[in-house]
Amino acid sequence: MPKLNWFYFAAPNTFYPLAGKMVPWFAVAAAVFAAIGLYIGFFVAPTDFQQGEGYRIIFVHVPAAWMSMFLYVVMAFWAAVGLAFNTRLSSMMAQAIAPTGALMTFLALWTGSLWGKPMWGTWWVWDARLTSELILLFLYIGFMALQASIDDPRRADRAGAVLAIVGVINVPIIYFSVQWWNTLHQGASVSLTRSPSMATTMLWGMLVMALAAWMYSIAVVLVRVRAIILERERNADWVRDLKAKGATK
């Protein structure tokens, strides 16, 4: 039996076909979980006695907010691995994750303000969570802008990695500063902390939707990383062979 090589898939030419095989699975899983989650969310979960039907937006909002924060950490992790071990694929992963993370952040902000209008009577509150989520969006945009403005991909990877790591150190500081700023200055007029006694079906709907968001993110990131691999390795022999076989799709 050949020895299992953990780094076998760390090379773009071996990872590319593997990613291609995994994409459909994650895409289907995302669709199935989303269908189940939305069904629970819209038909099974009871109407909230306080918030009416409007609360159902949390089935999109909460998973998006979770993913937005989680993806930043994952992005910074891969960027750091790429910086430390000089592995090309890690940096490509980081680059592929950034747009999805930004999308999730935007989605969380957008659905949050849609929820805020009927519940709080305002589109936006300078609450700690809202503010730090907004800053997270800025951090994603900064990462993408820095990478986009450097033509040499290796330099772009490493510069982006330094920025992502600085950002990861700063995110907790920003979060707590925003929280303290909020509590120090104005009374907690609006609290985002939900009542702990959440109906079980609601919780299940949310968890299933979170799984759907995971699967969707993985599928999209894999598709994007495949595109990045092809773009960067376009002069490599194995890409030329793929092209000759007409298998780059």
Partner 1 sequence: MGSLDAFRALVRRDLLLALRRRADVLTTLVFFVIVVSLFPLGVGPEMETLRQIAPGVVWVAALLASMLALGRLFSADYADGTLEQMLLAPQPLGLLVAAKVAAHWLVSGLPLVFIAPVLGLQYDLPWDALGVLMASLLVGTPVLGLIGAVGAALTLGLRGGGVLVSLLVLPLYIPVLIFGAGAVDAAAAGTGAAAHLSLLGAFLVVSLFFAPWAAALGLRISLE
Q: Give the nearer residue to partner 1 in terms of CB position, either 152 or 237.
A: 152
Burial zone of 4 (CB within 10 Å; 0-12 exposed, 13-18 middle, 19+ buried): exposed
Q: In terms of CB distance, is 13 or 177 closer to partner 1?
A: 177
CB of 104 to partner 1, least distance (A): 17
SS3 87: coil
In the complex, which residues of this chain contact partner 1 (CB under 8 A)? 135, 138-139, 141-142, 145-146, 149-150, 155, 158-159, 162-163, 165-167, 169-170, 173-174, 177-178, 180-181, 184-185
Comparing CB distances to partner 1, the nearer of 34 and 75 is 75
Nearest residue to 233 (alpha-carbon basis) of 52, 37, 12: 12
Tokens 């969310």 sit at which residue?
41
In the complex with partner 1, which residue's Cβ is closer, 81 or 222?
Answer: 81
Q: Which residue in the block uniquely carries the two structure tokens 């968001």?
A: 213
Do 132 and 174 contact (CB within 8 A), yes or no? yes
Element (H, E) at 216: helix 200-232
Closest approach of partner 1 to the CB of residue 142, in Å: 5
Other beta carbons within 10 Å of 199: 11
Nearer to partner 1, 60 or 159 (CB): 159
8 Å CB contact between 102 and 144: yes
CB of 225 to partner 1, least distance (A): 22
CB of 172 to partner 1, least distance (A): 10
